[in-house]
Amino acid sequence: MIKMISLALFITVAVATSGSTQEKIDPEKWGKQAEETYDKLDSYTAIFHKQERVNGKLLEEETILLRFKKPFKVYMKWIKDPYQGREVLYVEGWNENQIKAHEGGRITGTVTLNLNPGSFMAMKGNRHPVTDTGMGHLIKIIGENIRRKMKAGEFKLLEHGEETVYRRKTRKVEILFDRDRTKGYYGYRVIVNLDEEKKVPIKIQIYDWDDQLIESYGYENLDLNAG
């Protein structure tokens, strides 16, 4: 009996000690840190992992070489199936603000198209236009939703501890917004992996009001200020 009590006491102390060594996440603080880090960036590159639910169907994950430079220059090349070989280039103010794109393959790869970012062809299989590409857009949306929710006094954040994502040490947090879609939040809940060193989210999963995954974005091999 004494041994059992001693063991229980040891476990309690160990858990309390391990929990106290890690500072609790302040959502306003990390949101501001992420925004400040992004504001100071000139450019970044990454292997971009993208999966979206379009017209009710969760599409296959896409793996894309992403290069981004401010104010808004983005180049993307799909490096795995289902769209391996596809390339997209968009530079704000260039090419009449059109996307320059072509598919992979021997025949289609030789045909280059100029597309309006909001056109049917450009939006096919996408929830967002190319003009919303990049971590800056996500950081802004999540930050705005967090501040709005905290101001309303209804904010709830769940910490899930440390998790290694793309060989990076991250803190995993879950943010609950509202099951009532009429309140205008971006989604019901968001799961974010915050890179502890880079101070930016490197994986974001967004769920709708039916708790279905609608967007998942990851930034592997993220290189900030890559030139």
Instruction: Name which of 186, 201, 194, 191 is nearest 149 in CA terms.
Output: 186
Render pLDDT for 164-186 as a digit per residue (tens, 0 to 9): 999 999 999 999 998 899 999 99
Question: Is the bond leading into 82 cis (omega within 30 degrees of zero)?
Answer: yes
Instruction: Locate the DSSP E strands across 103-144.
Output: 113-115
| pTM for the structure as a whole | 0.86
Beta strands in 85-188 (DSSP E): 87-91, 99-102, 113-115, 156-165, 168-176
CB 166 within 8 Å of CB 221 = yes
One of 3.40.50.720, 2.50.20.10, 1.10.3720.10, 3.40.50.300 is the CATH number of 25-224, namely 2.50.20.10
Dist CA 86 CA 93 (whole Å): 22
Backbone torsions φ then ψ of 116, nearest 5 degrees = -70, 130
- The list of the chain residues with pLDDT below 70 reads 1-22, 105-110
The neighbour count for residue 168, using CB atoms within 10 Å, is 19
- Cβ atoms within 10 Å of 213's Cβ, excluding its own: 15
Interval 20-35: pLDDT, tens: 356 788 877 888 889 9
